[in-house]
Amino acid sequence: MIKSTFLGALTLFLVACSGDDIEEDVSTDPVDQVDTTLDSDLRAIIVKQALTGDPSIGRALPDIEEPKAQLGMKLFFTKSLGGDFDSACVTCHHPMLGGGDDLVLPIGVDAEIDDLLGPGRLHNVNGDHFDGGPTVPRNSPTTFNVALWDDYLFHDGRVESLGKTPKMGGKDGLGIRTPDVPFEQSDGYAGDNLVVAQARFPVTSDEEMKNFSNFGGTDNHQVRENLEQRLGDYGNPLGGKLIVNNWLAEFREGFAEPDGTAEELITFDNIAKAIGEYESSQIFVDTPWKAYVQGDDSAISDVAKRGAKLFFSAYEDGGANCSACHSGDFFTDEDFHVIGMAQIGRGKGDGEYGTEDFG
């Protein structure tokens, strides 16, 4: 089962929007015929489905210029959070690659060239666990608009809000479940929101960031402790190495505590908070569709309008029923659906032979 996402759906509209010139051609294709009720039909759907065009409405989201988001950006880009200094968050979530990595399956640690991102990034054949293909089992989702998810993060939802959102009962304070705790239990270290909670995990994955030598045999807690000590230059971290950034100065500025010590400020909780703040500033919602929903009839082409009508209409009304799952302004019901998607990649170790992926 796979979490439905909105981004691809949005892309459909954008692609459709760029085909303006089609309309000027004289054509017998039914898709190009003038439909005088198109705008009124679509606006009726928009009202009925209570669309605003802007999934960010009502959320307190940070600005990239804020000091904590700036600190988070530097942490997101540093390979010092990789066990063997060879992989960073940005390795698989680069802003220039749409918040992803433009690969079907990512290459994290042990790349041929650490600093080469996107197509052409290959495993070093001498790397630990190299066996001919990408070793991370699932595709890197974008970090763009990640702060707009209320219920789950990860394809299989293993970072999960336990009732924080209106949809799940609206009860605040039930916390967040993460892979560090059993099902249905709240993780006391998860932090304030799903994005912060998620940021605690990539560093613990052997194949994404941890690697196999420096932090060999350590558990999730020890990995994070080693990393905070490495960045803060205190304690006796495994795999410590000269760090070029002045992280203490960066953390003092990011957390507005000019006198804070490394032990106080450079904690993994704060690392996750700052990274979460940076990711939450990556909000991109100014689309032609938003302009259309908010009243500008000329913001999208007629072809796109017909696509939207199909997208948001049920089968009974001659539609394609996409919004049964890709509903609302964020184009998703945030739920899990069996969609017959073939498994791509090596799997997560499910099934009789450990080669399947039920996520």
Cα separation, 86 vs 66, whole angstroms? 28
Pick the closer one to ligand HEC by CB: 237 or 327: 327
Token pair 């970072």 is at which residue? 159
Is 136 buried (19+), middle (13-18) or exposed (0-12) by CB count in 10 A? buried
Q: Does 155 bind ligand HEC (CB under 6 A)?
A: yes
Rounded Cα distance, 38 and 86, in Å: 53
Distance CA 115, CA 129 (A): 20
Measured distance CA(286)–CA(47) in Å, rounded: 20
Please select the residue that binds ligand HEC; options are 42, 148, 203, 299, rule is CB under 6 A. 203
Is residue 305 a contact residue for ligand HEC (CB under 6 A)? Answer: no
Q: Which of 91, 211, 229, 267 is close enough to bind ligand HEC by CB under 6 A?
A: 91
The one-letter code for the residue type at 326 is: H
| Residue in 80, 181, 320, 347 binding ligand HEC, rule: CB under 6 A | 320
Report the nearest approach of ligand HEC to the CB of residue 142 (Å).
7
Residue 283 binds ligand HEC (CB under 6 A): no
- List the one residue from 83, 178, 322, 334 that touches ligand HEC (CB under 6 A): 322
- Report the phi/psi class of residue 85: left, alpha or beta, with left for phi > 0 and alpha for psi in -120 to 50: left
CB of 214 within 8 A of CB of 239? Answer: yes
- Our CB check for ligand HEC shows the closer of 149 and 298 to be 149
Q: 115-131 b/e with 16+ CB inside 10 Å = b?
A: eebeeebebeeebeeee
Per CB under 6 A, does 325 bind ligand HEC?
yes
Q: Is 169 exposed, middle or buried (0-12, 13-18, 19+ CB in 10 A)?
A: exposed
Residue matched to tokens 């640690």: 109
Q: Using CB under 6 A, which of 209, 262, 266, 308 touches ligand HEC?
A: 209
**Residue 196 identity:** V
Q: What does the angle CA 120 – CA 122 – CA 127 come to, to the nearest 5 degrees?
A: 165
The one segment of 162-170, 182-190, 192-200, 246-254 that binds ligand HEC by CB under 6 A: 192-200
Q: Within 119-148, which residues bind ligand HEC (CB under 6 A)?
A: 136, 138, 140-141, 143, 146
2 binds ligand HEC (CB under 6 A): yes
Q: Of these, 42, 62, 83, 93, which contacts ligand HEC (CB under 6 A)?
A: 93
What string marks each residue from 225 to 254 as x (binds ligand HEC by CB under 6 A) or -?
------------------------------
Burial status of residue 273 (CB atoms within 10 A of its CB: 0-12, 13-18, 19 or more): buried
Q: Which is nearer to ligand HEC, 101 or 302 (CB)?
A: 101
Tokens standing for 240?
């410590």
Are 14 and 287 in contact by the 8 Å Cβ rule? The answer is yes
Note whether 80 binds ligand HEC by CB under 6 A: no
**Which range in 58-66, 202-210, 233-241, 261-269 contacts ligand HEC by CB under 6 A?**
202-210
Structure tokens at 133: 């293909």
Q: Which stretch binds ligand HEC (CB under 6 A): 33-41, 199-207, 228-236, 296-304?
A: 199-207
State the residue for tokens 């703040």.
Answer: 277
Q: Find how far residue 166's CA is from the centre of its chain.
A: 21
Which of 64, 269, 324, 328 is the binder for ligand HEC (CB under 6 A)? 324
Instruction: CB nearer to ligand HEC: give 44 or 314.
Output: 314
Region 33-72 residues binding ligand HEC, contact defined as CB under 6 A: none
Residues making contact with ligand HEC (CB under 6 A): 2-5, 7-9, 12, 81, 87, 89, 91-93, 106, 108, 136, 138, 140-141, 143, 146, 153-156, 195, 198-199, 202-203, 208-209, 275, 279, 311, 320-322, 324-326, 337, 339
